[in-house]
Structure 1
Amino acid sequence: MKNRILYLHGFRSSPASFKGKLMAQTLAERGLSHIWAAPQLPASPKAAIDLALNLAQAQLREANDGPDNDPSRLTVIGSSLGGYYATWLAEKLGCKAVLLNPAVHAARDLTPAVGEHRMYHSDAPFIFLPEYLDELAALHVDAPTRLHRYFLVAATGDEVLDWREMHDRYAGCRERIVQGGDHGLSTFAELLPDVLAFALE
């Protein structure tokens, strides 16, 4: 299996999230742990995208046994803020992306989040600085290109982000609109087969 998957979690989240653990477990059961990477992203968007880009480029070299020459062998799966990052990476590298309730206007949506927080899965403290909003704005993609590379999963019951903005942003992409649901995609186990099929095809 030459394909690779990079998972990027959302704001205040981690690879230990429900979705992250489920994907890791499922790939392990298939004997595919070696194709998977799921870093803990720093709070700084610039530092987060630098880390993700370095990992993505390393995975592409592994997948292609040398210089990057087939970007479709990599799929970045991004949840919420991770979906915002995944879009930037897909445009930068030409790879595929699965977007799980992705942030569309991250700088706008995280403006109220400036300040002190704790991580969901470790209770570790961190500070989201005002300058991080500028770092997010710098990563905004005007419009996704080569839409066949994208797979949007959006829940109409998302209590954090507006699924209609996601649908409009990625119009023309493959999509799965979940009726009801929530921001965390608590029914992700039912969605995972389609997500992995897209990533591994």
Structure 2
Amino acid sequence: MDRTTHLLYLHGFRSSPSSVKARKMADTVQSQHPGVTWWCPQLPASPKQAVEMALQGVSAWPRDRMAIMGSSLGGFYAAWLAQQLDCPAVLLNPAVHPARDLVAYIGEHPAWHDPSQKVFFEAVHVQELAELEAQPPSAQARTLAVIAKGDEVLDWREMLAQHQAGRVRLLEGSDHALSDFDNDLPEILEFLRLV
């Protein structure tokens, strides 16, 4: 199987390319795999616009040598995009039912990494998530789901049930942010065909 030459990273709700995991992956790719094309865009609040932006951004990428990573809501997007593009994806504590979970967050919110930046999440965005969720999952999952039982935001049982068709790294503790992310990197890099 060919080595990965193009890697897309998708951050979570109210997050950014400045998240700890995104920066850690960017640094790892840059230092250990400088020939790999890395793209971690700032995603719009609109799920429809987020997946369209990602699809357009990778449209010229080689399908057999690309991979996707995503965290939380970005993990939901990554799983959806991996099905559309038939490429491997690493899902970090991926959201499973974001339309249900984010309906309580309609309104304006500060961004995690820069509270001066605002995220405007609208009712139409919940509908867009519901439409993405309604697409049936692929029978052949090419995913590695890193799931923390200690996730304080999402239910690990739902994540496991949704992604057990693929490879799963189930962590006994940890948290939603995967604070011990360094421990997961070797398996992630191997799955992404970067080692």
TM score, norm. by length of structure 2? 0.92
Matched, 1:163 2:165: no
Is there any run of 5+ residues in structure 2 with no aligned partner, and where?
none
Contact 1:10–1:80 (CA<8 Å) still a contact in 2? yes
Which residue of 2 is the match for residue 144 of structure 1? 138
Contact kept, 8 Å, 2:9 with 2:41, in 1: the verdict is yes
What is the match of residue 53 of structure 2? 51
Task: Give distance in 2, aligned partners of 1:177 and 1:2.
Answer: 24
Greater fraction of residues in helix: 1
What letter corresponds to residue 107 of structure 1 in structure 2? A
Unaligned stretches of 5+ residues in structure 1: 61-70
CA RMSD of aligned residues (A): 1.4
Per-residue displacement from partner, 1:80-118 (whole Å, max 9, x unpaired)? 000111111111111111110000001001010101101
Deviation at 1:2, TM superposition (A): 5.2
| 1:112-131 equivalence runs, <5 A | 112-123=104-115, 124-131=117-124
In the TM superposition, structure 1's runs of 4+ consecutive aligned residues that sit over 4 Å from their partners are: none
Q: Structure 1 CA distance, aligned partners of 2:110 and 2:104?
A: 15
Amino acid at match of 1:54: Q
> Offset of 1:55 from its aligned partner?
1.7
Deviation at 1:199, TM superposition (A): 0.8
- Structure 1 SS opposite 2:184: helix
- Give 1:150 shift: 0.8
Is contact 2:4-2:36 (8 Å) kept?
Answer: no
- Alignment correspondent of 2:101: 109
Count of residues in Structure 1 that have an aligned counterpart in Structure 2: 190
Q: Report the equivalent of 1:88.
A: 80
1:33 is displaced (CA, Å) by 5.9
Does structure 2 retain, via aligned residues, the 8 Å contact 1:24–1:33?
A: no
Q: Residues 13 and 119 of structure 1 are in contact (CA less than 8 Å); yes or no, is this contact kept in structure 2?
A: yes
